[in-house]
Amino acid sequence: MSKPGERFRPIWIDHQSDVVKVIDQRALPHELVIMDLNSVDQVIFAIKEMVVRGAPLIGVTGAYGIFVALKNGKDNADETYIKGEAGKIRKARPTAVNLSWGVKRTLSAVLSEKDPSRQIDIARQVAGEIAEEEVKNSRNIGQYGVKLIREIAREKPGKPVNILTHCNAGSLACIEFGTATAPIYAALEMGIDVHVWVDETRPLNQGARLTAWELGKYGVPHTVITDNAGGHLMQHHMVDMVIVGTDRSTYTGDVANKIGTYLKALAAKDNNIPFYVALPSSTFDWTIRDGVADIPIEVRDPDEVRYIPGAAKSRDNLLMPETSPAANYAFDVTPARLVTGFITERGVCKASETDVRRLFPEKV
Amino acid sequence: MSKPGERFRPIWIDHQSDVVKVIDQRALPHELVIMDLNSVDQVIFAIKEMVVRGAPLIGVTGAYGIFVALKNGKDNADETYIKGEAGKIRKARPTAVNLSWGVKRTLSAVLSEKDPSRQIDIARQVAGEIAEEEVKNSRNIGQYGVKLIREIAREKPGKPVNILTHCNAGSLACIEFGTATAPIYAALEMGIDVHVWVDETRPLNQGARLTAWELGKYGVPHTVITDNAGGHLMQHHMVDMVIVGTDRSTYTGDVANKIGTYLKALAAKDNNIPFYVALPSSTFDWTIRDGVADIPIEVRDPDEVRYIPGAAKSRDNLLMPETSPAANYAFDVTPARLVTGFITERGVCKASETDVRRLFPEKV
């Protein structure tokens, strides 16, 4: 991870110690801190407090959570215990559907193994498989998405393709390559001239802290902007396309993503700029039809808005009067009508039930 | 200014010393610092560095700048000198049309007085008149705007009217009452139950720092939100109306205001929520037809985005990687088609050339 240009992962198992390790994303961009996940409480803490974040990564962390539970449960890891631990992990955050999906898949595999001594190996293996599948998904998303970038590049020879993204749907949110960033990294590899507008993404600044960090690490030209700036840039032809990730998308095309995504989708629509959502199939919710009405939106601690991100809660770091309350809705839902298309591991499709079903016929 | 509940002004002349004094708005909300403006350089510094900000206040500060220039020029204050100083003040910031307007009006009055010994008194008087006119304008904006709030209140008895605002178009941006806040303060006086969603307004956080501060001071219930949150709130029927100020609006209805305003206007339109712009006639630009194309948008120091507002430029206060560049467009333009109406000192009208001309027939 230390060699410049080398690919890194935000979660891995240290094979010598058999310990799950994650990058503490709260400390980026100025420090690279590694945290061990030795207990289910630590797994839940890591997910809740956003040591790890991003839908695919939360899914993988949840899967490894089952492994950690089994490691700690040892001889007492009966079905009741492991189901209880799985339930706790699944509830750590409500919006990203991958968490529930990753936990469930690992749990099923473990419970179908009757020999308790083999369950821990199965958990380790399934969590690892999910991680590798997400890498493969990201790689495929990159290959399909880069075609869209290449088309734009052909229309403006000699000039960079300007892509706007919100939050971090990058390597740090996934395992490698990312979702929204995968087409960008693929474009870079193909020698296409790209430039990324990075929304800082208040309140936790995942854009300014994480996306800018990894784009810089991989040598992608980028500029950080406030969340307020995107509309102006679009009006003035300084954005060619928008690509974002998602924490949960309905099979009907509605997209839950970091709060503020909806505003960018509106601006893209108003300026005829394509607005794409990149996601692996693990992020689809195959049960909900109306995303705006039915996707649960996490409400987080208002102090994340009130204080400078990552700083001590002193008056010096308080961004508003001491007596002013704040609200902290973590996600919003962009209706399908504003989404130009989904970039998935199986190809690009319209954000509509018909098109999603056609790409994933086995899912519904 | 120290008594709670008492009205304050962000600019005034100390009559004993004849010195222009302003609240240093960079230090709010945690400290109330008063700054003297003793030279034209200090006036320009105050405007450029946003010691004072907000279109009407910048206009009044520019007017007092002519007074300061004359005080300092003393016996050498000939026409060439005073025109030169006026030119420097007018150029301090490009977007707010009030600055140019306030300087020009005071300059004309001064130059039409042939007796140099009387010019300084005229400058003091005209600047004071402009300030009082802005107070009167704000009061009238409040009286016209409150009718809109009252109508909504009648439709939801027993529940607060939720108003979203962006940046600070409050007392601090004007002289008293504000523009966007004037109808809110008037509603409070009439006993109408209101609640204000305050956009924090990155990068300089005028919402979180200034609007929250003055709403708190006047006892208006409010909640600070990130700039990303408004769309979600509107989708979920938590916003009844939007009221913002403006730094320059064309007589055709296009509205330049703090960056991010356009995104809120799009969200309001998408959710059928009325979007009003409150402004005195001094903020109209009577010469520009196409606001999006022709209103100059100030580009400010990227370090305002890169570092925590008001903090020292150390790595600890750097919000992104050291190698990541940032861009800092200060305003955007909301096209007339997204604006429900203008609230002016002469009444409410549509954001259209016909309606604006009808209200201000002498201007065009």
Q: Tell me how close the Cα of B148 comes to any Cα of chain A, in angstroms.
A: 26
Query: Based on the domain organization, do A107 and A173 belong to the same domain?
Result: no
**CB neighbours of A135 closer than 8 A, spacing ≥ 6?**
A174, A175, A176, A177
Let me know if residue B314 belongs to a domain.
Answer: yes
- State yes or no: pLDDT of A4 exceeds 60: no
- Percent of chain A beyond pLDDT 90? 91
Which residue among A112, A133, A154 closes a domain? A133
Interface ipTM? 0.95
Is A325 in contact with B259 (Cβ distance < 8 A)? no
Q: Is A38 in the same domain as A127? A: yes
Q: From the CA of A60, how many Å to the nearest CA of chain B?
A: 27
Separation CA A227–CA A201 (nearest Å)? 6
A258 domain-assigned: yes
pLDDT in tens, B224-242: 999 999 999 999 999 999 9
Q: Which residues of B are part of the catalytic machinery?
A: 247
Give yes or no: residues B200 and B241 share one domain. yes
| Amino acid A310: pLDDT | 81
Selecting among A247, A254, A285, A332, the annotated active-site residue is A247
Q: Measuring CA to CA, which residue among B208, B173, B169 is closest to residue B11?
A: B173
Residue B138 located in a structural domain? no
Of the candidates B231, B308, B320, which has its C-beta nearest A29's C-beta?
A: B320
Give all strands (DSSP E) within chain A, no chain letters.
11-14, 19-23, 34-37, 161-165, 194-199, 222-225, 241-244, 248-250, 255-258, 275-278, 284-285, 331-334, 341-344, 347-349
Distance CA B135, CA B323 (A): 46
- Residue B111 and residue B25 share a domain: yes
Q: Report, as an integer, the average pLDDT of A234-239.
A: 98
Q: Is B226–A30 a contact, with Cβ atoms under 8 angstroms apart?
A: no
Interface test mutation site (partner A, options B210, B225, B295, B320, max chain A beta carbons within 10 A): B320
Nearest chain A CA: its distance from B21 CA (Å) = 23
Tokens describing residue A230:
């995107």
The whole-number average pLDDT for the span B328-355 is 98
pLDDT at B339: 98
Range of the domain at A151: 143-363
With beta carbons under 8 A apart, name residues in chain B contacting A327: 197, 223-225, 229
Structural domain includes residue B105:
yes
Same domain, B71 and B148: no
Residues A124, A185 share a domain: no
Whether residues B150 and B20 share a domain: the answer is no
Amino acid at B173: A
Mean pLDDT of B107-115: 94
The CA-based dihedral angle spanning residues A313, A319, A325, A328, taken in that order and rounded to the nearest 10 degrees: -90
Is B69 found in the same domain as B122?
Answer: yes
**Distance of alpha carbon A204 from the chain centroid:** 14
Q: What pLDDT, on a 0 to 100 scale, did the predictor assign at position A193?
A: 98
Residue A138 within a domain: no
Amino acid at A66: I
Are residues A278 and A344 located together in one domain of the fold?
yes
* pLDDT band at residue A3 using 50, 70 and 90 as cut-offs: very low
Residues 6+ apart with CB under 8 A from B35: B21, B22, B23, B24, B42, B46, B51
Task: Report the gap between the CA of A81 and the closest CA in chain B (Å).
Answer: 39
Q: What is the pTM of this model?
A: 0.95
Residues A70 and A209 in one domain: no
Alpha carbon separation from A318 to A113, A308, A323 (Å, rounded): 52, 7, 11
pLDDT tens digits along B185-214: 999 999 999 999 999 999 999 999 999 999
Stretch B302-323: mean pLDDT: 92
Q: Residue A26 CA to chain centroid, in angstroms?
A: 15
* A–B interface: beta-carbon pairs under 8 A: 190
DSSP code of residue A160: P
* A230 and A265 assigned to the same domain: yes
- Residue A5 counted as domain residue: no
Q: Which of A262, A321, A323 sits opposite B231 (nearest CB)?
A: A262
Residue A271 lies in a domain: yes
A291 in a structural domain: yes
Searching chain B, which residue's CA lies closest to the CA of residue A203?
B226
Count of beta carbons in the 10 Å neighbourhood of residue A39: 15
Query: Which of B88, B110, B133 is the last residue before a domain boundary?
Result: B133
Q: How far apart are CA B23 and CA B38, in angstroms?
A: 14
Residue in B with minimal Cα distance to A215: B324
The pLDDT tens digits for A305-315 are: 999 988 889 98
Quick one: average pLDDT of A157-182? 97
d(CA B218, CA B176): 12
pLDDT at B3: 39
* Dihedral in degrees, nearest 10, Cα atoms B349, B354, B359, B364: 140
The first and second tokens of residue B259, run together, are: 């960056």
**Cβ contact A292–B235 (<8 Å):** yes
Cβ neighbours of residue B361 closer than 8 Å, sequence gap 6 or more: none
Cross-chain Cβ contact B321/A29 below 8 Å = yes
pLDDT of A340 above 90: yes
d(CA A188, CA A65): 35
Residue of B127, B110, B129 whose CA lies nearest to B119:
B110
The 10 Å Cβ neighbour count of residue A155 is 9
CATH code, B35: 1.20.120.420
CATH at residue B345: 3.40.50.10470
Question: Domain tally for chain B?
Answer: 2
Of A133, A152, A179, which one is at a domain's C-terminal end?
A133
- Do A46 and A163 have their domain in common? no
Q: Which of B202, B206, B319 to mutate to test the interface with A (most CBs of A within 10 A)?
A: B319
Average pLDDT over residues B267-289: 97
